[in-house]
Amino acid sequence: MKAKSVHAIEISAGSVKIAAFRIQKKKLPVLTFLFTEAYDSKPKMEEALCRGAAAVAEKNAVYATSVWAATMMTRKVVMKLDDSEDIHQTLNLEAEKFVPFPINECLVDGYVIRELENGNQADVMFIASKKDLITERCELLKRSGIRLGYMDVHPVALANLYAQIEPQHAAEPFAIVHLGDVPGSVKGEENFASVCYEGKPAVIRDLGGKLSEPEVGDAQWRYVVTQVANAVSFFENSMKLKVASFRVTGESKTCEEFIKRYKEHAGSDFSRWSALQSLQYQDQSLSEKAVAQETAVTVLTSILARRLFE
């Protein structure tokens, strides 16, 4: 039996957020509950998690979450497809060629971006993370009485959500940039870009941090726009496809500055996009609270809800 609700938890630098959604068939989930609490130390973070879990009305709730860190490795590779082999075994072998730390110290996952014309090869994205990052998060949630059912990587969740909400634009390749505080970030502010094919990132680039600080200079901005432009160029050259749309999401002032600078650098027009304006809410107060918090947990949950329960 499929669940009728799903819960998501976001732990970012300085705050804990828990959201609950009611699942609707072939529609976006409806936000029914949102808990937010700030913290300034690890013990207080755990206390906030416990209070948030206690505030959830549903007993035995299962949670989804997302993690992201600059130390995660992402790479698009061409792999042979063999029906007799598990793709994850092949991913581990591929990861050994690129991951800069022992393979037994990391977790590797991935997905097929597209099958190639010759029929026995595919473009594949693999994602590698140090085990301790994932283990620490899982143990933290367990200590807080939170039962974790699913963990994703934020660039993948965000790209898939855009494809769900904007299918008319996601039918063609698109670039999506996130600037600001990211759920699951180990540093607080994380900035990344994804260039996507059929709703799945084919290129992911970490863009560094601290873009929201007043003293950020031209050199840092040049690095960011160059990284995004290079990601777009790499996608178009390797996939033999043109990127049709450009979206940026995150903190308002930072996004506007990026749009201006990218236009000057590469000539392409990025436009603002916010999933918060497209989601459904049980009542107006929840809508106002979610938007005021600029919480990405709603973004995360809506895509995870579909993956888990549809």
- Could you report the average pLDDT of every consecutive run of 10 residues in the chain (310 residues)? 67 78 70 82 89 84 78 85 69 82 86 85 89 89 87 82 83 91 49 92 87 76 94 96 92 84 93 75 70 51 48
Tally of domains in the chain: 2
Domain, as residue range, for 243: 5-69+132-309
Query: Domain check: are 305 and 276 in the same one?
Result: yes
Q: Scan for tokens 């037994």, then name that residue.
A: 104
- DSSP assignments along 88-116, one per residue: HHHHHHHHHHH-SS-GGGEEEEEEEEEE-
Query: Do 229 and 297 belong together in one domain?
Result: yes
Of 105, 131, 157, the position where a domain reaches its end is 131
Q: What is the pTM of this model?
A: 0.81
> Both 180 and 276 in a single domain?
yes
Tokens encoding 254:
């930072």
Question: What CATH number is associated with residue 97?
Answer: 3.30.1490.300
pLDDT of residue 106: 87
Asked if residue 239 and residue 102 are part of one domain, the reply reads: no
Query: Same domain for 232 and 257?
Result: yes
Together in a domain, 82 and 48: no
Q: Would you state the pLDDT for residue 182?
A: 46
The candidate with the shortest Cα–Cα distance to 13, out of 62, 74, 68, is 68
257 in the same domain as 123: no
- One-letter-per-residue 3-state SS of 26-85: CCCCEEEEEEEEECCCHHHHHHHHHHHHHHCCCCCCEEEEEEECCCCEEEEEEEECCCCC
Which structure tokens are listed for 142?
A: 């367990």
Same domain for 282 and 235, yes or no, is yes
Question: Within this chain, do residues 83 and 217 fall inside the same structural domain, yes or no?
Answer: no
Q: Could you tell me which of 247, 209, 210, 205 has the C-alpha nearest to residue 228?
A: 205
126 DSSP β-pair partners: 75, 110
The tokens describing 203, both together, are 């290129």
The length of the chain is 310
Helix, strand, coil % (nearest 5) of the chain? Answer: 40, 35, 30
13 with 41, same domain: the answer is yes
For 181, the token pair is 């505080």
Given this model, what pLDDT does residue 308 score? 45
Last residue of a domain, one of 90, 107, 131: 131
- Judge if 117 and 260 occupy the same domain: no
Residue 235 pLDDT: 96
Same domain, 304 and 182: yes
The tokens 């497209």 sit on which residue? 278
From the list 286, 278, 272, 271, the residue with the least C-alpha distance to 303 is 278
